[in-house]
């Protein structure tokens, strides 16, 4: 991951997702995420606009009391996004059956790397895109905007 890369997540609200976001922000990547109960096409409609290089995901989620598996959806999303080079699960294990271009990592593998020293982190300007958010799409196709724009409009 490098400054300016787009990183996406198909993730529950969890400590692991926050850690993944903070790590992405620390290296200057832009983050966008969707809830795991969003349909595959809706995920692709959003993420395809970004050409992400990393996908963070949970392998399952609970919806209305039922546990739902996400590994097949993760494979479908990665197959449809040729820019994805790394798939990192935020919970146990890895995703098998990934295309050759996409390496699958476990969260434990990511945590085993030594942390970056604060002094080694680059400082980014106010206009550096940190999040990429999407409109609801009620008036047409969902479109992405950076938080700089969203934050300015909400404070006016």
| Statement: residue 44 has pLDDT above 80 | yes
Sorted by sequence, the CB contacts under 8 Å of residue 125 that are 6+ apart come out as none
Domain ranges in the chain are 6-155
What is d(CA 129, CA 145) in angstroms, rounded to the nearest whole number?
9
Could you give the 3-state DSSP secondary structure of residue 92? Answer: coil
pLDDT class of 79 with cuts at 50, 70, 90: very high
pTM for this entry: 0.81
Sorted by sequence, the CB contacts under 8 Å of residue 16 that are 6+ apart come out as 58, 90, 91, 107
For 6-155, CATH number out of 1.20.1050.140, 3.40.50.980, 3.40.109.10, 3.40.640.10 equals 3.40.50.980
pLDDT digit string, tens, across residues 110-132: 778 777 777 777 888 888 888 88
Calculate mean pLDDT across residues 99-110: 81
Structure tokens at 53: 């290089």
Structure tokens at 153: 């409009």
pLDDT digit string, tens, across residues 51-77: 999 999 988 788 888 888 888 898 899
> What percent of the chain stands above pLDDT 70?
84
| pLDDT, averaged across the chain | 81
Structure tokens at 31: 């983050």
């Amino acid at each position: 991951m490098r400054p300016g890369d787009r990183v996406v997540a198909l993730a529950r609200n969890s400590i692991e997702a926050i850690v993944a976001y903070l790590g992405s922000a620390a290296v200057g990547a832009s983050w966008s995420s969707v809830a795991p109960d969003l349909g595959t096409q809706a995920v692709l409609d959003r993420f395809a606009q970004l050409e992400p290089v990393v996908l963070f995901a949970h392998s399952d989620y609970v919806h209305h009391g039922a546990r739902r598996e996400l590994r097949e959806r993760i494979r479908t999303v990665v197959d449809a996004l040729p820019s994805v080079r790394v798939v990192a699960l935020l919970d146990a294990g890895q995703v098998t059956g990934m295309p050759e271009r996409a390496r699958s990592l476990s969260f434990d593998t990511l945590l085993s790397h030594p942390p970056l020293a604060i002094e080694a982190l680059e400082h980014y300007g106010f206009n550096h895109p940190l999040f990429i958010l999407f409109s609801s799409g009620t008036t047409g196709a969902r479109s992405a905007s950076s938080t700089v724009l969203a934050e300015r409009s909400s404070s006016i």
